Chains A and B, each alone.
Chain A
Amino acid sequence: MSQTVEVLRNQALDALQKTTTSDELVQWRSRYLGRKGAVGALFGTIGKLPAEERAAFGQGVNALQSELRKAFEEREQLIREQVLAQDLEEGEIDITLPAYPRQMGGLHPATRTHREFQSIWAEMGFQVYQSHDVEEDDFNFTLLNLPPHHPARDMQDTFYTTNPRVLLRTHTSPGQIRAMRELGGGGSKPIRVILPGMCYRQEQVTARSEIQFTQVEGLAIGRNIRMSDLKGTISEFAKRMFKADAKVRYRASYFPFTEPSMEVDVECFLCGGEGCRVCKYTGWLEIAGSGMVHPTVLRNGGYDPSLWSGFAFGMGPERITMLKHGIQDIRYFWGNDLRFLKQF
């Protein structure tokens, strides 16, 4: 009967040699090694043999099964290698075909810059304080040391509403008074906030000026706040916002609600201070107005200016965004052309 085993062996190994794909290999395995396969069938015949032949025959079939299993694994390994080699050889695609587009979304550039500002200021302990867009004249001007007919009122073209006491804020500074009154505990607690928000000015809309723009104002009030702290804080901001070794220049200036006041210039990050068209060949870019909070403003916020002091600064995120990305036209910001927005 070992002849039967030998026949099956030859037949199976022959067939195995002819398999070339993993499908054929699976078929081969079920034909010979499967539950109802040929080797199994041989095991089924054992019972019909004379008792003295059974052991030898059983051994033969077992050996056959092991051999075929081993041959199968080798063949499988070989075919796997062949398939792999073939795939590597021939399975080339045109990698220059266009990608399938993924649906992307994105934040408005103004939001992006605001976040950059907010996170830098948050690291320095300045938290966001939000205030009204529509303001009382008192808060926008008078309480900020800009009484009616003050010359500096001319610096800001104001949108007035049908209520003569009410206007659209021309800057975020009225939030200074509101923050002091709300958070200051009647002039007894320190404050460190930034006031981001939309501001409005009645101007001709051009590539360089808008009727609506965002501002970020900062305010720190305490018992020992010095002008040197203001310089240190702003320089720290410039280093984090622009460049670790950004040079900063402070110029005396005038804002009714601060004294002393100063403008802050940062070394032009486009030309490295060598002079270019954007910085008008001066090497400097103006980034902020700032100063020590005016004693009158401290008083109007509920603080005694002989005991408390503070500093404030204001920045225009759109301007900084424009500088950073070479945006020539400020109208792009609220124009919301998706061709623009998708570039951020």
Chain B
Amino acid sequence: MLVPISWIKDYVDIDIPVELLAEKLTVAGLEVAHLRYIGLPQADVPGLRMPRSDHLVWDREKLLLARVVEVKAHPNADKLVLAMVDYGGEELEQCVTGASNLFKYQGQGEINPPIWGAFAMEGARVWDGHSDKPRQMTLKGKELRGIYNKSMVCSEKELGISEEHEGVIILDHEERYVAGAPLAEILGDVILDIEFTPNLARCFSMIGVAREVAAILGLEMRYPSFEFLAEGDPIEEQVKIDIREPELNPRFTLTLLRDTEVKPSPFWMRHRLRLIGQRPRNNIVDVTNYITFELGQPLHAFDYDKLLNRAGGPPTIITRLPEAGERLETLDGLARDLGEETILVADTAGALAIGGVIGGGETEISENTRNVLLEAAAWNNISVRKTIKQQRIHTEASARFSRGVHPSQSILGSSRGIELMRQLGGGTVAAGLVDAYPAPPQTVTVALPIERINALLGMDIETDQAAEALRRLEFETRIDDDVIHATAPDHRLDISADPIVGQADLLEEIARVLGYDRIPETIMADEMPPQRENPGVFIEERVRDILAGLGLYEVINYRFSNRETEAMLTPDGAASSLPDAEYVEIVNPAASDRDVLRHTLMTNMLETAANNARYQRTQQVFEIGKVYLQRDEVLPEEPLRLGILLTGARDQPTWRVGDAGGAADALDFYDLKGVIESLLEALHIDDFSYERATHSSFHPGRSANLLLRRAPVGAFGEIHPQVAQRFRLADSKVFYAELEVARLLQYQQRLHKIEPLLTTPAILEDIALIVDANVAAHEVERVIRQAGGRLLKDVTLFDVYTGDPVPPGKKSLAYSLTYQDPERTLTDKNAARARKKIIGAARRRLRAELRS
């Protein structure tokens, strides 16, 4: 909400710079997002930083309030006139001007009642009114169609008040005006842009802000008068109220103004409304807006004669729920279907307005309106919220009612509104007001022991001090044995009647008024809860560290996906290997391709790889993240998965001798297997094995399942070429693994024994075996290890060879073997015996031949 400081000063005499006030409001929870200066200089407050404003500062000597005494014709130009201006100087100043709104005064002689303008003397800095871009200029004397001119009467644009440049500023006469007064004192202003959190409904008006200002600064609040001069016939005979839903409409008040004149509002009203971003219309509608912003109590004005016509006599205003299929044409010209819960203002002939939201077109104020019926009511905020959601409509009224306006404000709005209308438009106000108040909210009194304040805020304050803070916010307080009994003021709906919640509400108010900076900073002295071990977190972070150490980068993807993309993981004619679960489906997705939560990390990982392929020769990445499997429970299972993806070159190209041209090898299946085994090794998981994968997203011949203690943990291998192609990854093979993190946690050894360091010498030798091409390597190694027995410490495969001289259908596997006796020096004889056993077993069990 835009809040002119000049308006707030109507209610409280602020004694500090506006910049400091803005800081104090911000710290008290009324966040001032921006200060807009009009004419006044920006103050430098020590210790306070703020953006520099580049506005025009009005020269107090050269920009003055001046009376426009007379407007004369220009002798040489039809589109110019001569304004004779009293700026407090010895003589009247003659200003040549083309301001359209001065032409009507031409030839009248001395203007009466007087009007006032904003006068700029030669040498004054103003904005260039004719420039499209903001540009400042210094006023210089020059001839305009034969008449020398060195000063001017200014438009709003020239002073930086608004973009208005059609006419000049014309102020209606006020007693306090003196010719030659610095303009800054009349129109200078600072507009605070304040953002309100939902709990600050009570602040959503000038008086609401002023109350906070008064409380924070410890100043007196000065309320406007709520008296109204009522000399007409009693209102009871002229209108009646029938509230049918007191829950939704706890209060409804009406006042009536007869024989008034609908016309433009005076300058001060139009100016204030424009400063807060409202468009002035006519005096009646302007008053309803003005009171909405001044008090926070929205008003609605009806053309009383139209109501008389509809009812064929004194109308009865009915508030009720709509009938089936009922419609209403609202002020914005839309014919609206009314929802079941929309509360209406109606008469016996039908609906007139949507309560608390918007009026109807038929009974609105027009230029011909003579008699005005003014509504000030209270509406249930939840009901209004439902209506504005359903009708997709936001008005200044609904913005306030949807946050909550206390019913006590209705009568204040009625009284002040009808009196202001009478002052601006004339006429006679009917005696009294009609006030239907079937559902007053309960008055809340909270008992707050002083020790509770100090125990919860951690500060040491006196009972009187706390009570005084509440009194500044207009609470009524009574102190009884160090207990403050505080009764909430009648503009607040946010203090709870629940004794403990109410205490918290008051604590916040006390802390705000005294200042959060008054609360000390202490170290928690409370009992420390027992510390638990957190293996899930531990393993997750451990896995991240291991994989980053292995040269992989961590990615984090969206957890959203869509069914079509996940279906792309299954090649034509194959059965899906994705989890057998339902999707968590979003009913209001951000995009249609993000309408479910993922069942696998694979789609996101492949998409990420495709996106990166343009810039990266090699990609080695992993993600640890949840997938979402909806089964029979209300909430889905959210297992944590580890996805690993490798593609592209194994190494970056270098100029190293033998590596010229960067002809680096491509990453392959065994690189991925190496990552997995290094991970398992680092987690001290040693009971693992592999079997051929059955996951359809992988190449059937180049993929495997990882088993830990014979239980599957996930599949890995080369992504099926058709799947890779669908994800724009056909250029190089993609290797991918997806593992259950919970399984890694389950099987990791947190306490593992280390191998003793042997000091006895080892004997190394190589052995090459020729076996059938389809014999699995791990089978050969198993036979070697079993036959080698206790002395065979290590077996490393260092060559796999097919082709001449190895016969077709066969392959040669070359191993380097390490023999070592932990207790004594191994003799050549013992090593030879082990070797003989190995060769024998290989012959017998693998039909292997020794390659010479």
* Interface residues of A, Cβ cutoff 8 Å to B: 97-98, 100-101, 103-108, 110-111, 115, 125, 127-128, 130, 132-136, 149-152, 154-155, 159-163, 165-166, 168, 183, 189-192, 198, 202-205, 211-212, 220, 222-229, 231-233, 235-236, 249-254, 259-262, 273-275, 280-284, 292, 294-296, 305-306, 309, 333-339, 341-342
Closest 3 CB pairs of A and B: A228-B458, A226-B458, A252-B29
Q: A224-B525, A337-B611 are in contact. List 18 more A-B contacts (CB 8 A).
A: A100-B654, A125-B529, A134-B628, A135-B635, A165-B634, A166-B635, A190-B529, A192-B528, A198-B626, A225-B526, A228-B520, A254-B199, A259-B507, A260-B512, A281-B49, A294-B501, A337-B615, A338-B621
Contact between chains at B590 and A134 (CB < 8 Å): no
Q: When the two chains form the complex, which single residue of B590, B597, B634 contacts A163, counting CB atoms closer than 8 Å?
A: B634
Q: A127-B531, A232-B522, A281-B49 are in contact. Are A161 and B587 (CB under 8 A)?
A: yes
Contact between chains at A136 and B615 (CB < 8 Å): no
Which of B221-229, B348-356, B550-558 lies on the face that meets chain A? B550-558
Q: When the two chains form the complex, which single residue of B504, B528, B555, B589 contacts A294, counting CB atoms closer than 8 Å?
A: B504
Interface of A is mostly: mixed
Q: When the two chains form the complex, which single residue of B456, B551, B552, B553 contacts A292, counting CB atoms closer than 8 Å?
A: B456
Q: Report the bound CA distance from A160 to B597 in whole Å.
A: 12
Q: Report the bound CA distance from A254 to B458 in whole Å.
A: 20
Q: When the two chains form the complex, which single residue of B402, B558, B597 contacts A334, counting CB atoms closer than 8 Å?
A: B558
- Size bracket, chain B contacts: 35 or more
Q: Report the bound CA distance from A250 to B516 in whole Å.
A: 6
B584, CB-defined interface residue at 8 Å: yes
> 7 A-B residue contacts at CB 8 Å?
A98-B655, A136-B635, A191-B529, A224-B526, A235-B521, A259-B504, A336-B556
B242, CB-defined interface residue at 8 Å: no
Residues of A within 8 A of B652 (CB): 101, 103
Q: Report the bound CA distance from A97 to B654 in whole Å.
A: 10
Contact between chains at A281 and B50 (CB < 8 Å): yes
Contact between chains at B520 and A231 (CB < 8 Å): yes
B705, CB-defined interface residue at 8 Å: no
Q: When the two chains form the complex, which single residue of B197, B616, B654 contacts A101, counting CB atoms closer than 8 Å?
A: B654
Contact between chains at B616 and A338 (CB < 8 Å): yes
Beta-carbon contacts of B505-525 to A below 8 Å, as 1s and 0s?
101100110001101111111
B619, CB-defined interface residue at 8 Å: yes
Q: When the two chains form the complex, which single residue of B504, B528, B551 contacts A125, counting CB atoms closer than 8 Å?
A: B528
Q: Report the bound CA distance from A98 to B654 in whole Å.
A: 8
Residues of B within 8 A of A292 (CB): 456, 504, 507
Q: How many A-B residue pairs have CB under 8 A?
A: 264
Contact between chains at B50 and A227 (CB < 8 Å): no
Q: When the two chains form the complex, which single residue of B27, B508, B556 contacts A259, counting CB atoms closer than 8 Å?
A: B508
Q: Report the bound CA distance from A161 to B594 in whole Å.
A: 12
Contact between chains at B597 and A260 (CB < 8 Å): no
Contact between chains at B455 and A226 (CB < 8 Å): yes
Residues of A within 8 A of B504 (CB): 259-260, 292, 294-295
B265, CB-defined interface residue at 8 Å: no
Q: Report the bound CA distance from A17 to B481 in whole Å.
A: 112
For window 490-549 of chain B, which residues contact chain A by CB distance below 8 Å?
Answer: 498, 500-501, 503-505, 507-508, 511-512, 516-517, 519-529, 531-532, 534, 536-537, 541, 544-545, 547-549
Contact between chains at B590 and A202 (CB < 8 Å): yes
Contact between chains at A103 and B621 (CB < 8 Å): no
Contact between chains at B534 and A128 (CB < 8 Å): yes
Contact between chains at B635 and A151 (CB < 8 Å): no
CB distance from B736 to the nearest CB of A (A): 15
Which of B175-183, B379-387, B766-774 lies on the face that meets chain A? B379-387
Contact between chains at A205 and B199 (CB < 8 Å): no
Q: A260-B512, A338-B612 are in contact. Are A127 and B558 (CB under 8 A)?
A: no
Contact between chains at B559 and A212 (CB < 8 Å): yes
Residues of B within 8 A of A281 (CB): 49-52
Q: Report the bound CA distance from A127 to B626 in whole Å.
A: 21
B13, CB-defined interface residue at 8 Å: no
For window 1-41 of chain B, which residues contact chain A by CB distance below 8 Å?
Answer: 26-29, 31
B748, CB-defined interface residue at 8 Å: no
Contact between chains at B611 and A254 (CB < 8 Å): no
